[in-house]
Structure formats: structure tokens, C-alpha cells
Structure 1
Amino acid sequence: MPKRKGRPVVHAATVLALLAGSAYFTYELRKDDQAKVPAAQTVTDNALQNSGKATGKQTWERLNDPARSVLRDAKGAVIATFTDGARTATLKGSSRTFTEPANTSTKVVTDDWVRLMPEPWTKGAQNQQWFKDWFKQYYGSQEDDVFAIAFQYVQGSPVKKDSAGVPYEGDAVFGPYKADGVDRLEQNDFYDYLGIPYTFRNGTTMEPRTERYRALDCSGFMRMVWGYRSRYPLMATDTLGDGLPRSANGMARSKVGVDIIKLQGPSPWYTRPKNIDTLQPGDLLFFKMDHRTADHIDHVGLYLGLDTEGHKVFVSSRKEQNGPTIGDKGGVSRIDGNGFYAELFRSAKRL
């Protein structure tokens, strides 16, 4: 993600002081203690809200825009949502609270659990054995989902290493400083964070760069969460291999997944979507932020849903915060209203 024109420079010493301060995040799983936190916010998709009816049993429903299958409980409430052509599923479960008090007062209380299915959804897939087996394993499961994994890289997250000593989770930075000591280097992928060579499915091997150890830029963060951790296929670059491309622009324009909000309007700035109510927790959000990147989309984040104030929020890795955040530095992490990111939001994809 490029440096924004016209934004004040934060000196390295200031950044280090901030990092050394009260830097922590809270990820709480609430089960028997629901009364102590605000209620989970509901989705704003009118089709989901208005079509459910109490039937006394679980029922499947087909909805359009996008084409998807919805599983409802006996009272008509949504249990799970599956979108045609996408592997992402949202399952209702225990309510959790995601916060980052060192950088924002924003609090996300959600009962949505975002997981990857082994195959893209198709109409009638609920009758196939692969889905029955997957749903039995993951509905009600408290195994880390995409949201839990994403928050394992925000400021103050504890480092965890595998048996080979490779740090697969823990506080990530956006990237090291450039020679000028002001701007930060981009193009920091998950293998840079890990510090190990990585061979992609097409046989391409990418080598980590020592100075970028524990660094993830915006798209590298998404590739860590969805690819290395959740096992979504990854391309080596924007052109080599198959799966999720390397850059935000490559992801936005890729044929993988389903375009929930399509890129519209004239380049290079395109236009802000007029309606964003079709978004679902777990969607990739794309932004056009800098004139220096020509017609490229230059930032990507993960949509979390509504915060406790009813705003649509996301998590992404940014230069200003120097890593993954739902914070306010450089712009509040909301895509509704008229804030910095809201104004520059352009499209969305469901993997």
C-alpha cells in the first residue's frame, strides 16, 4: 500500500514509542457471560432479514443477488449462509468480542464464524456428502476461524512458533523503513513474515528477505490469513500459478471467488458503491487510495461486519499503524459514512 499524499509524516522514534506503550489487544470468547457485553449486531441484508419464517424445523432457502443458500433454524433465524461459487461460509455460533484498545475504541461483538469449505458452493450442495461431513465438523466448533486468525497479528499479539521454530502467528509489522527513514517498504508477503522459503503449487519458490521478517503488507496479511493459515490456494505472483493473487489489485480483478460489489466507474479512481448492504462478514474489501498507482486498486481489508455502534468495520494492515489493525490512525476502519476509507472503498469479493 503506497504512502498517502499529503498525510503528516510519523518519525521512527514516535512509532517506536507507540509500539513500546500500552500495546495489546483483546480477543474474548463469550459463552455463559453474554450479559456482560453488548449484543451481537445483526446483518443489514434485507433479503436475509425479511424472508425467514418460523417453520418448527430447519429449512433451506435460496436467495439472489448474490445467488446463495441460507440455512434457517426452527424459528426462521439464519444459521449459515453459502454463496454460489464461493468457498467462504458464515456460520452462527458463540458470540465473541474483538477489540484493539491501544489504537481504537471500536468493538466488534459478533456471532458470525467465517470458515472455508473444501469446495465452492453450488445449489443443492447441502445434499452432498462432502458438505454433510464438513458441516458436522464445523457447525458449533470453536476452532480458530478466519476472524480469530486475523486478530492473531494485530499489535501486541503473542508470538507462537511451530515445532521448527517458525513464528506462524504474533504481532506483525507492515514493513521495515525505507532508506529515508520515513516511508515503509511494501510487498511483504507471508513467507517474509515466516522467514522461510515457500514453494507454491506451480513449483515457484519464493525466498524471504531478512529485513522483512515478521512483516505483512495489506495483501500479504490477507494471504497469511486465507492462504497459509486457512489453506486457500495462493498464486506465487499476480501472474504465476492459480489461486489468490499477490497484490490487492490482482485480488480485486481476479476470477477467484465471487464479485459481491463490482468495480465501477471510470479509471483511475473509479466510483464509490452506492449500496453496500450485500456485504457479508468475511468479504474482501478493496480500496483506491493513491494517484501514484495509476488505475490499480491499492489496498485490501477483511470485512468484520457491524461494530457495537452499528458501523461497518474491517481489519487491514497499514503503514500508519505499522501492521494489521482495526484502529483509527490514518483513517477510521469504517466503510459507511464519509470517512477516509469509506470515501475510497471501491469493490468487494467473497472467496
Structure 2
Amino acid sequence: MERHLCFLVYPDFVLFDLSGPLEAFNLARALTGGGYRLTVASLDGGTVLSSCGLAVVTEALPAGPFDLLVVPGAPAPLAGDWVPRLTRALADAAEHSARVASICTGALLLAAAGLLDGRRATSHWLVVPQLQAEFPAVRVDGDRIFVADGAVWTSAGMSAGIDMALALIEADCGAEVARNVARMMVVYHRRPGGQNQFSPLLEFDPASDRVRRALGFARDNLAGDLSVPRLAEAAGLSTRQFARAFTAETGQTPARAVERLRVEAARALVEDSRRSFEEIARATGFGSADRLCQGFLRTLGRTPQELRREGRRNQGDRVPSQAH
């Protein structure tokens, strides 16, 4: 079965929002011997200039129907007489699309077209407040890297569009094809949609190599001994020096930082696997389901049980249907 996918671009779109997911689907097409037909379109066809200055050749937006209509984002708010025309065309095309998806700030266009009303959605963390303020009917979840609500998919910034594409490929072509695409692109197969847009490692951003080395060691050994003496050893500092330097550079105690790293790893398993909470607790260093639950409550304000129920609802939402 060949599925028709259409990417709708416009002046000043982000090139990577197009090229990353487009290449993922192109690889899936090669692996399946023609599972996808790919179209890059614009309102009137012809060359369209991306935000980085590279022009892309497009065809005029076809009438459809489409199995998937994808809208990339832009680095700045769109302005011009053509913008209302674009949102109208997007709304019309969605009527003839089994699924609709946005990448990064493309969620603002979906919202402007009325396609996100009453739905869960995400976008780049920079525009999440704008999305919520301008479109109060949208149930914005800025913590997720992508969200599937029925036939409408939204993703966070840039590389999250590849994660969303892999999830769509898995739904269409199976897990093995998606895994092979991920291997060919040298990306994870696949970051779950519930993963935070921010990694604690990026948020801590320590100044010294030694503290960074300790954080890297912690990330790679979550199930092991991550006591202050062990982390100090990995950093090459005395216990007292390490504890003082770590807190000064990250604003967190070592214990709190380790817990956040463990929660990040455990959350992905809680939402996207069938492993028991005891297994997840052992794999991520919490030791027991009770301690796992306590860590989740302190860090996320929610229990693993609540997140798993939400993850299962999201999995259930991934059923192709009319978008609008």
C-alpha cells in the first residue's frame, strides 16, 4: 500500500524541519520498496526560500487526498498577506488528509487553522507560552517531544520531528522498518514522545570538565553506586571538594541531580514499556517501586502510575482517522 505524504512549505520555513523527517520517510520508502509517495508543496508551487537561504523546488498544493499532511516551522512569526491564505489552504487540505502533523512552530499554523482545538499538542519550548495564550482551546503539553492526539500529531523543535517521523513509520510499516531507518540516520530508535524537551544534563551545564565528567559517569551508570564518594572519584576530586564544586556549578546537590537523571531515564520506560515498576526501579537505580514513586513525585509531581496511564492513552490515540 502506497501512502501519499505531503509537506507544505512556505517562505522562511526551517529547512531541517523539512529535510529531517522527509529523509526518514524517503529511507522507509526505499526499505519497503515504495511504501510512501512524497510531495513537497507550497501554495503556488515553484521555488520557496527557506530561513537559511536555501531554495526548495515545490509543486502547487495538490487537492489530495493525503495520508499525511506535514507543516514545518519557522524561526520568526509569519507576516504577509499570504499567511491567512496559507491557514485557509491548510484547513482545506486537512479535510482531505487522514493525518496532519506539525514540526516545531508549525503547531501555531495548525492552531490558526483550527486543527488543534480541544486536542493535546506540543511545540518548541520557546513558543509554548504563545501557543497557549493565543489558542486557549488547545491543550498544550510543552514537556513532550511529540504528541499524537487522534489523527493530529505535533512535535517540538527540529530533531523531534525525526522522532515523530519514526513513530509514524513504525505505525505504518512496523517496528523493524523504523529501527532500520533510525540506524541509517544514526539516531535513537526512538525517543518516546513523553521524554522531556530538556535533558537535565543540559540544564545543569557545569563549567568544569571534572563536574561534567561526573555527570556523564552518572548518566552511564544509573543502576550503580552514585554516592558522593563514587562521583567524586569519577571527577578526580576529594569528596568535600566535589560536593562544594558540584553545588556551586549546577545549583543542585549531587543527590538531587542523580535523582533527576534517574527520573528522566525511568519516565521513558514508564510511559513506553510494559516492564513492571520494580524492574524499572532496579534498572534506573531507584532500587524499589516505592522509591521510584517518591522520586517521581518530588521531580514531576506525578506518580509513575499516572504517567503510564497517560502513555497508554497516547498509544491508543495513534489510530489513523480523519483529521478534521
TM-score, normalisation: structure 2: 0.24
TM-score, length basis structure 1: 0.23
The structure richer in helix per residue is 2
